[in-house]
């Protein structure tokens, strides 16, 4: 019997979360997503990703229950200021 896979590559975790790999890279760079490196490649423990995802869901549910607006996603890029000239 095969042992289930418990570690994802960057591409696999992007597919698992249904987001673009660049989004995963941004989350990792900002320290928002649990990850570790093997050589130069990022790896993601499935259990850690599932806990992170559940925490994100709970954060949104709490905001909805309290009647507050949903907080901006931490991964959103800040708006660019118009350039003068």
Read off the pTM. Answer: 0.69
- Angle ∠(21,26,27) on CA atoms, nearest 5: 95
pLDDT above 70 covers a percentage of the chain that reads: 73
Quick: pLDDT tens for 12-53.
Answer: 999 999 999 999 999 999 999 999 999 999 999 999 999 999
| Domains of the chain with CATH codes | 7-65 (1.10.1660)
For residue 21 the two structure tokens come to 């790999």
């Amino acid at each position: 019997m095969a042992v289930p896979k418990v570690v994802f590559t960057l591409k696999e975790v992007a597919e698992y979360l249904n987001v673009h790999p660049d989004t995963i890279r941004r989350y990792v760079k900002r320290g928002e997503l649990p990850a570790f490196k093997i050589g130069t490649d990022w790896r993601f423990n499935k259990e850690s990703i599932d806990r992170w995802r559940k925490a994100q869901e709970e954060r949104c549910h709490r905001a909805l229950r309290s009647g507050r607006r949903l907080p901006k996603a931490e991964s959103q890029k800040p708006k660019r200021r118009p350039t003068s000239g």
